[in-house]
Amino acid sequence: MDSKLELLTQIARGIATHFGNNCEVVIHDIRKEDIESSIVYIENGQVSNRKLGDGPSEIVLETLKKNPDLLKDRLSYLTRTDDGRILKSSTMYIRGKNNTIDYILALNYDITGLLTIDNSLKSLLSTSETEDDEKQPKRITHNVNDLLDALIEQSVALVGKPVALMSKDDKVAAIQYLNDAGAFLITRSGDKVSNYFGISKFTLYSYMDTNKEK
């Protein structure tokens, strides 16, 4: 274990102990060649039901696709687990030489119980029947296959129509979303995406090239 990871694990243990069992702390190693097992340390994994050696989150894939100089820590946003619990999350980028991203330190605090109390209070105190819609929190996945499924669902939601009704431009837009999200960093993702959208691998690459030209 290098000194930086050793320091991060010490911090992770301290945070998890301080905030208790509802606070999950995860360390992703971005330098690994095998991104499908990016989690190198985790405390309170029962929060998201993940474990050591599990795959990357959506944030990790986005990190691998972006210029490190443009990345900023993402603090206090909402995510959700497979079983519907809501988490308050923060993602911090740990940098190495030349400003590259070496690790990601992520915090996920289960606020489901607190939201139940909050909703009860709002119901009691509110004088308005409608409130502004909030963005749906992103789902925390356990492995790259689940993550790819989630990204494909998001690409279809972005277009706003089922694949059977999509035009070429619709499919190009969906492929652009997946490419920007880092979906094609996942092994054999091209096969699954092309089958899902009913296009050949050649057409898939053509749509990706079209997006580059734009």
Same domain, 44 and 96: yes
Same domain, 150 and 100: no
Residue 134 pLDDT > 70, yes or no?
no
Q: What is the percent of the chain with per-residue pLDDT over 90, rounded to a whole number?
A: 48
State the residue range of the domain holding 23. Answer: 3-114
Cβ neighbourhood burial of 3 (10 Å; 0-12, 13-18, 19+)? exposed
Q: What is the DSSP letter of 89?
A: E
* Within a domain: 66: yes
CB within 8 Å of 76: residues ≥ 6 apart: 88, 89, 90
Same domain, 83 and 157: no
Q: Tell me the whole-structure pTM to 2 decimals.
A: 0.70
Q: What pLDDT is attached to residue 115?
A: 78
The CB-side HSE value for 107 (13 A sphere, CA atoms) comes to: 24
Same domain, 73 and 167: no
Same domain, 159 and 109: no
* Within a domain: 135: no
> Bigger pLDDT: 39 or 120?
39
Number of domains in the chain: 2
Residue 82 CA to residue 46 CA, distance in Å, equals 12
Q: What pLDDT is attached to residue 135?
A: 56
Same domain, 37 and 107: yes
pLDDT digits (tens, 9 = 90+) for 76-101: 999 888 888 889 999 999 999 889 99
Mean pLDDT of 18-44: 93
Name the token pair of 88: 């308050």
Same domain, 71 and 11: yes
Tell me, what CATH number does 68's domain have?
A: 3.30.450.20
* Within a domain: 41: yes
Same domain, 98 and 8: yes
